[in-house]
Amino acid sequence: MIESSVAQKAMKLPAARSVLVVCAHPDDESFGLGAALATFDESGTSTSVVCFTHGEASTLGMDTPELGRVRADELAAAANELGVGAVELLHYRDGLLTEEPLGELTARVRQAARRSGADLLLVFDEGGITGHPDHCRATEAAVALARELTLPVLAWVLPERVASALSHEFGVGFIGRADTELDYLVSVDRARQRRAINQHVSQATDNPVLRRRLELQGSQEAFRWLLAPS
């Protein structure tokens, strides 16, 4: 559980008519953003997802034939649990998004934003939470498009204490934010997120890091503005 000196920041997610998630891999929308997506849906906000890769290079589920196809099906099932109205799964190479021209990726986000009528983009924090270059590139493309269209960008973040605990316990490089960097600390119900996570069988079945992260976060999620509303 997050023992927070930032309890005064606990609040609702920002109001929006239509939220577009921009992410790199199937499961990012559930493992990271699932609680937020469920909360937006329950508030009457329409939600959609554009995902750049099929996640075929994952080291989890490597014994699964046609992992990219399997993960596409998992994404569709998870999105249904979260009430996501539309999912666009693109075909860029998993692990190699940084080799794709930023302008091309930004154009794909632009198309998705216009189709959905998005007035808010939801992404992983700069640094990608885990430092994964695909995560960073997806966020970079979202921010580039948002600057062009003057859209706000809200990033899901890990509080520093959670990131530090995970890094210590698992020897992985999670990237956290100090309390002073957080704009929102939101109480969430994780029931729908957990159901969505369970749809990602290839990635969630043997994933102690994910289980521990959710335990450390408890019923709270943290966010910060990358581009605040004007």
Q: What is the pLDDT at residue 8? A: 55
Query: Is residue 1 in a domain?
Result: no
pTM of the complete model beyond 0.85? yes
Q: What is the pLDDT at residue 2? A: 39
- Residue 110: give its domain's CATH number: 3.40.50.10320
Which residues, in sequence order, are bridge partners of residue 122? 21, 154
Query: Is residue 89 in a domain?
Result: yes
Q: What is the pLDDT at residue 167? A: 96
Query: Is residue 196 in a domain?
Result: yes
Total structural domains within the chain: 1
Tokens standing for 51? Answer: 């995902």
Q: Which domain holds residue 220?
A: 7-58+66-162+169-227
Question: What are the two backbone dihedrals, phi and then psi, of residue 137, each rounded to the nearest 5 degrees?
Answer: -70, -40
- Specify burial of residue 100 (Cβ count, 10 A radius: 0-12, 13-18, 19+): middle
d(CA 171, CA 106): 33
Query: Is residue 2 in a domain?
Result: no
CB atoms within 10 A of CB 206: 9
d(CA 103, CA 80): 30
Q: Which helix (H) or strand (E) holds 227?
A: strand 220-227
Local structure of residue 98 (DSSP, 8 states): G
Q: What is the pLDDT at residue 9? A: 65
**Series of mean pLDDT values for 10-residue runs along the chain (230 residues):** 47 96 98 98 98 96 89 98 98 98 98 98 98 98 98 98 97 95 96 98 96 98 96
From the list 4, 2, 12, 53, the residue with the least C-alpha distance to 154 is 12
Query: Is residue 82 in a domain?
Result: yes
Q: What is the pLDDT at residue 230? A: 86
